[in-house]
Every structure is written in structure tokens, then in C-alpha cells.
Chain A
Amino acid sequence: MHSYDFTLILAFFVLVLLPAPFIGRYLYRVMEGEKTWLSPVLQPVERLCYRIAGVDSNREQDWKTYSLALLAFTLISLLTLFAILMLQGSLPLNPQQLPGLEWTLAFNTAVSFVTNTNWQAYSGEAQMSYFSQMVGLGVQNFVSPAVGLAVLVVFCRGIARRSSNSVGNFWVDLTRATLYGLLPFCLVLALLLVWQGVPQTFLEYVTAHTIGGTDQVVPLGPAASQIAIKQLGTNGGGFFGVNSAHPFENPTAWSNLFEVASIILIPAALLFTFGHYVKDLRQSRALLACMLILFSVGLGGTLYAEHQPNPALAALPIEQSGSLEGKESRFGTTASALWAVTTTAASNGSVNAMHDSFSALGGMIPMFNMMLGEVIFGGVGAGLYGMLLFVLIAVFLAGLMIGRTPEYLGKKLEAREVRLLVATLLVMPVGVLVLGALAASLPGPASSVSNPGAHGFSQILYNYTSGAANNGSAFGGFGANTPYHNLMIGLAMLLGRFGYILPILAIAGSLAAKKRAPVGSNSFPTHGPLFVTLLTLTILLVGGLTFLPALALGPIAEHMTMFQGF
């Protein structure tokens, strides 16, 4: 590692952690309907939205109505996006005259963007019109993280409110999250990216006549605006096929720093939003500590693995350093490893290097991050609500150990909540292990793998994990665009989204209705080092252990074969 590598990592943590308390407080004010410095500009827009939709912004919903509103919005979004993708050939803003997508690909892509996954079985510059990118995918890039944020604040209200039947108004939460929570940050990032070289134009592709005597088509488009929300909204769906590895998506080391920090800027800030809801910022710091521990261990491991020379190349007359296969020169090994860990800790899924070509262990850690359910910062809203589920499980386990009714921040956890908690624990195993095993055992679907041996299995494992965890990154050699995988990964994405959201809304509803017991000397404190340790172990044991056998068949087997042992 060189000095610029350390500067990069330091700058990354500073950019993420320094603004987090301030953005967190701002987002709390936004989601609770308070005035912010943007209100003079955005309030008229917000009011217009409610008027058009016939929404009374002062009327709150109970958790069932809230869930129905969320489901209705998702359904309409799915149908609209599916229609746009199928019909793009006859829609405007299509200078390259691209045809509509095949229906399973359109279904997969629509589910992918509506669930904030942004799994891409297509290649943007070759298959998506500007209209589909902007009006179809771009809009879901905004509203799908806004839905995640809405669900998170419902969970927060559930914990914070006492004897309350209502949990908020979905339409208000969605609107405010989009307008105040995401839009302003995107405007700033988009312009920073254009400054660094990301295109933003509606002109058609340009043909260049090179000095080498050949012609080169230069693909263009309104890329910067889309990339900004793709990073900040933990979406990850690239404007171009190779995502943030493309020089037009991520032209410089600086654009790379801005983009990688943007992935967890809002998820890190939301920890503090939570602290404001429960009026106890110690809780935020404890969760942050747990996330930082898991993040740093993953980062250290991936950096170590990626800087090791590949033993298969040891006898060749080449420089013996970490492999640069599938990595860009302007990023190098360190920035590629940092991105891989960040994008899978959060449910972003954009890539600036090809994870398929990472070393066996360097590819396993991102996979493991996703298997934990993306709770290390995680997606906008989704990461923290996933983390809070683990918190409740840890509290429940602690309650079992000391023989008292488990209680979190004054709210008792009873049979109903624990049943729902356990239901969410099944989502990742079913999505990854059941659907993944099915894909691996059927000869047709299994033939999508592109690498031989254990790594072939890793490809299936990684990609189904990515779908179920709503991440969207890929071991990209895998031929994912087949009707089988389009439908099954589509199913995994739906399961991974609503398998969490619906139980969480139910838990939030039931917590909100409870009285708040006074926190006494017998309560188990959830902000000290003891709880951070318990929580970290719970995440690793409950979340991670399930997947160890599968990992042993894939990346661990690949590593052992290559290095002849550890």
C-alpha cells in the first residue's frame, strides 16, 4: 500500500463520518415534518404533490393502511416500469432506436429497480433508451430508497411512540424523503461528477475518427444525474454496462472518492436520525461502533487478499503484485477493494472493478457482507431497519440469558414480535440457499456459469445472494440474462424486499401500541461495549453461520486449491 492508499481510506471515513450527525439531524427534521432551510423552495412542491394525490398530510395511518399504501405504490411502480421497458421502442428520447426488452428481462429489471436492488441483466448503453434510463429507472432510483427510508422511520416511531395506533402517513414520508432527503444531495453530487468528466447531455452518440485510423462510437447521455442518485440512493444500477468502472461513470480518483463515500453517506447519517427519534444518541454511537467493527474487519481482509499475488501466475515473468485483472488503472487495488466492501456492506451494488476476477477471499468478503443481510450501514433505510432487527434479536437473547422479559428502550418484546423477528431470519436462507441450490442443480440454469471449478459455484452463490439481499452487484461472467434466472432472481429480489418490510411494519405497529416502561436499573443497557459485542456476535452467528457450508464449497474451496492450504 502507498501513501495515497492511506489518504484515500482516511478521506473516505472523514467524508462519511464527519457530516453524519448533521445530515442525520436534518433527516430527522425532514421526516417529522419540521421546517428546514430548504422548506421555502420545496414546500410549495410538496403541497402540490399532496393536492394532486388527494392526500391529507395531517392524517396519519395505522400500520396496516401504511403497508397497503406501500404495496399499492410498489405495484403501480412495477407495472409502469415494466410497460416502459417493453415499449421503449415506441417511446421518445431514443436516439439509438433501441427496441423494447424481452419480457422476462423487463420483469427482472422492473423488480430490480423497484426493490432498490438494481441487479442488471442488461447493458445500459446497448439496451436502454435515454427515456427508459431517466423516466423509468431514474425515478425508481429516487422512490425506492425513499420507501426504505419511510419504513425505517416507521420502525423508529414504533419504538419512540407510546400507546399509539398510528405510525405516520406513507405518502407524506415518501414525498418528503424524496424531495428533501435525496434530491438536494443528488444535485450537488451530479455537478461534482460532471466537473470530473461524467457526461450529461441529450445528444446522440458521437462517432470519432481516431488517429489509429478506426472509428469509435462514443456513447453519451444524461449520465451524471443518474449516477448521483444511483450512489446516494444505494441503488447501484449503472448508466453504462460496466457500471462505475466505466471511465464515463467514474473518470478520476476524485470522482471515485465522491462516489464511494456517497454509498454510505445517508445510511451512516440515518444512525443519528434514529438517535433523535429515541432521544438517545448513545444508541446511535453503539450501532455505529458495531457497524464500523464489521466494516473494518471486512475492509482489512479484502485489502490483504487483493494485494496478494495470484499463485497461479507466480512462475510467469511478470510483476508479482495483486492482480489487476478487472481493475482500472486510475483506481488500483486499494480503491477497488474499498469500493467492493462498501458497495456490499451497503445494498448499493455498483462496482468499480469486476468482483468475479477478485481473489477467492477478496470476493468472499463482499459475498459475506451481503449474506449478513446488508446491515453494515446497508441500504438507505433498509440497512438500519435490518440492523434494528438484529438488535431486537440480541436483546431477546440477552433476555433469555438473564431470565427476564426482553425489553428495548422501554418497549417489551413479546411472543408476537419475536415470531415476526424469526420470520425475517428465514428470508436470506430461503433466497440464497434454496433458490441458489435450485439454480446449481438444474443443468440448464447451472450452465450460466463462466468459470470452471469451485468458482463456478461461487458465481451462482454470489448472484443469488446479491438478488436476495437487494444488492445488485454481480460475479459478472455469469450469463444472468436467461428466462430462468430473470424470473428466479426476480423472485429472490421480491422476497428480500418484502420479506423484511412487511414484518417490520407489523412489528413497528405493535411496538407503537405498547406503553413505554420506565428504564430501570434492571434493564439491560443497549449502548455499552458489552451490548456492542453481543450485537456483533449475534450478527455473525445468527446471520452468517447459516452460509458457512455454502461458502466452503465456493470461495473457500477455491482459495484452498490455489494456495494449497491457508
Chain B
Amino acid sequence: MLKQIRPAISVLAFMTLVTGVVYPLTVTGVAQLAFPAQANGSLLHNQQGDVLGSALLAQPFEGAQWFQPRLSAGGYATVASGASNLAPSNPALAERIAADAQRLQAEGQGAVPMQLVTTSASGLDPHLSPAAAQFQIARIAAARGIPAASLERLIEQHVEKPLVGPAVVNVLALNLALADNSPPAKAE
């Protein structure tokens, strides 16, 4: 065994250099040249250049005038992200969902979409299904005093339909569009 210690140390040191330093640096170099926006976290800026968030991370939105993202077990904390890990048989899950369903239920709107009463896996799910976004139109239209049809159109403009996954809309993108079109001051 002792005879093997020297090659063990040198091979590990060598592999550390190749796979632990050269490899990530190479990927970083190419990524920063080819895809700088994505490589730096898909950050969104305003006209002054301030960072408003990442297109990929959900943000909490207070108030009826905004689209609400998926619920987050970790309160939208980014460090560290987290899930509820509630079992399907856990009574706490049914109780929480019952309370949220009652809160969200709206006259003449039918069943509350599953996405609006369940917490996501990451707690930072940036997307909603189009149906879950549309479910919020009546509330937002009333809060902002704008026609429902314009919100309908807004959602349609933001729907992404990948070939290999469900259609989604990005909630932050919707809310940024709302903020542009009708400054929050007017809504308040």
C-alpha cells in the first residue's frame, strides 16, 4: 500500500489541477465570451443599470395588483433555497392547501389551479402555467383598474411553449411589463 501512496498523491494533485482548475476556468472563459448574460445569472437591469433581479429566480410580490408566483416553502429565500418536503399523507399539507384555496377562490372562476396552491421544488420557481396566470387576471384588473383583455394579451405575449415541456409564463416578466405600462404609483 505504501508504494501506492506516492502515485495516489501525485495523480490526485494532477487531476485537481486538470478537473478542478483548468476545466472550470476553460468553461468560464468560453461561457463568458459566448453567453455572457446567462453565465452571469440572467440578470435584469433597469435603465439606470440597477439590478432588478434574475429572470430565472422568482421574487415575492405583495399586493393584489401583481401576478403572484408559485408559493415558496422557504419564503423565496435564495440562500438557502428550500422545499416543503410535505408528504402527500401529511395533514399539514391538506390544511395549508385548503386555507390557500379558500383565499384564492373567486366567484365564477372554477377550481383553483394546482400550481397556485402547491409550493415549488426550489421555492424559486419563476414560472406559472398560462392557466394559473389567467386565473389572476380578474383580481389584477380590478386592483389596477385596467381591462381584463389587456392582461389576457400580456400573458399571451409571454407564453413560452418548449417542444419538450409544458407551456409557461415568466411571472417577473409579466410584472415588469405591468410596472412599465402602469407605474405602481397609479395603482396605489
Complex: how many Å from CA A310 to CA B90? 11
A69/B8 in contact, CB under 8 A: yes
Closest-by-CB residue of B relative to A65 is: B4
CB atoms of B164 and A254 under 8 A apart = yes
Smallest CB separation, B27 vs chain A (Å): 4
B163 touches A199 (CB 8 A): no
Within the complex, what minimum Cβ distance (angstroms) separates A93 from chain B?
Answer: 10
Whether A76 lies near B32 (C-beta < 8 A) is no
Contact check, B83 vs A354: say whether CB atoms are below 8 A apart: yes
Q: Is the CB of A76 within 8 A of B112?
A: no
B52: which A residues are within 8 A, CB to CB?
208-211
User: Looking at the complex, which one of A135, A313, A318, A325 makes contact with B20 (CB distance below 8 Å)?
Assistant: A135
- Complex contacts, A228 vs chain B, CB 8 Å: 27
Beyond A139-B16, A197-B56, A331-B165, 10 additional contacts (C-beta under 8 Å) are A216-B57, A219-B78, A246-B124, A254-B165, A312-B89, A312-B93, A318-B101, A328-B122, A332-B165, A351-B121
Chain A positions 69 through 111: 1 when the CB is less than 8 Å from some CB of chain B, otherwise 0: 1011101110010000000000000000000000000000000
A329, B39: Cβ atoms under 8 Å?
no
State the A residues within 8 Å of B (CB): 2, 4, 7-8, 11, 45, 48-49, 52-55, 65, 68-69, 71-73, 75-77, 80, 123-127, 134-136, 138-139, 141-143, 171, 174-175, 178-179, 183, 186-187, 190-191, 194-203, 205-214, 216-220, 222, 224-226, 228-229, 240-242, 245-248, 251-254, 256-257, 310, 312-313, 316-332, 335-336, 351-354, 356-360, 450-455, 458, 475-477, 558, 561-562
In the complex the two chains form, is B86's CB within 8 Å of A254's CB?
Answer: no
Binding site for A on B (CB under 8 A): 1, 4-16, 18-21, 23-24, 26-28, 30-32, 34-35, 38-43, 50-62, 66, 70, 76, 78-91, 93-94, 97-98, 101-102, 105, 111-115, 117-129, 132, 162-166, 168, 175-176, 179, 184
Assembled-state Cα–Cα distance A310/B93 (Å): 11
Q: Which residues of A contact B12 (CB under 8 A)?
A: 73, 76-77, 80, 139, 143
Interface pair B6/A201, CB less than 8 Å apart: no
For A327, list chain B residues within 8 Å (CB): 118, 120-121
A312, B16: Cβ atoms closer than 8 Å: no
Q: Is the CB of A451 within 8 A of B38?
A: no
Q: Is the CB of B5 within 8 A of A317?
A: no
- Chain B residue with the shortest CB-CB distance to A76: B8
Contact B57 A247 (CB under 8 A): yes
Would you give the shortest CB distance from A460 to chain B, in whole angstroms?
13
Complex CA distance for A191 and B28, rounded to whole angstroms: 9
Is A558's CB under 8 angstroms from B87's CB?
yes
User: Chain B: which residue is nearest A557 at the CB level?
Assistant: B89
Q: How far is the CA of A197 from the CA of B168 in the complex (A)?
A: 16
**Provided the pairs A69-B7, A76-B9, A201-B39 are in contact, do residues A225 and B166 lie with their beta carbons within 8 angstroms?**
no
Given A75-B8, A451-B86, A218-B57 contact (CB < 8 Å): yes
Inter-subunit contact B87/A248 (CB<8 Å): no
Do A328 and B121 form a contact, CB below 8 Å, given A197-B56, A207-B51, A248-B57? yes
State whether A330 touches B168 (Cβ < 8 A).
yes
Contact A245 B83 (CB under 8 A): yes
Instruction: Check if A2 sits within 8 Å of B7, measured CB to CB.
Output: no
A322 CB → nearest B CB, Å: 8
Of the candidates A186, A206, A319, A332, the one whose C-beta lies within 8 Å of that of B113 is A319
User: What A residues does B113 contact at CB under 8 A?
Assistant: 318-319
Closest chain-A Cβ to B124's Cβ sits at a distance in Å of 6
**CB of A25 to closest CB in B, whole Å:** 24
Contacts A328-B122, A329-B128, A454-B89 given; does A253 touch B164 at CB 8 Å? yes
Identify 25 residue pairs between A and B in the complex whose beta-carbon atoms are under 8 Å apart, listed by A's number: A8-B165, A139-B12, A143-B15, A183-B18, A191-B34, A194-B34, A202-B28, A210-B59, A211-B176, A218-B51, A218-B54, A222-B27, A240-B81, A242-B83, A242-B122, A245-B83, A246-B122, A248-B41, A324-B120, A329-B125, A332-B165, A335-B165, A451-B90, A458-B87, A562-B88
Query: In the complex, A54→B6 CA distance in Å?
Result: 8
State A358–B71 Cα separation when bound (angstroms): 17
Cβ B94 vs Cβ A312 within 8 A: yes
Known contacts A195-B38, A451-B89, A455-B89; is-contact A317 B51 (Cβ 8 Å)? no
Q: How far is the CA of A228 from the CA of B30 in the complex (A)?
A: 15
- A214 nearest CB neighbor, chain B only: B60
On whether the beta carbons of A175 and B11 are closer than 8 Å, the reply is yes
Contacts of A124 in B (CB 8 A): 80
Are B162 and A324 interface neighbours, CB within 8 A? no
A454 contact set on B, CB distance < 8 A: 89
Task: Find out whether the CB atom of B27 lies under 8 angstroms from the CB atom of A126.
Answer: no
Contacting pair A191 B31 (CB below 8 A) = yes
Complex: A245 Cα to B56 Cα, angstroms: 12
Interface-centre pick from A179, A190, A196 (highest chain B CB count, 10 A): A190
A323-B88, A358-B88 as given contacts; A242 in contact with B7, CB under 8 Å: no
Most chain B Cβ neighbours within 10 Å, of A123, A195, A253: A253
Which residues of chain B are near A475, meaning CB under 8 Å? Answer: 85
Known: A191-B27, A356-B85. A125 touches B5 (CB 8 A): no
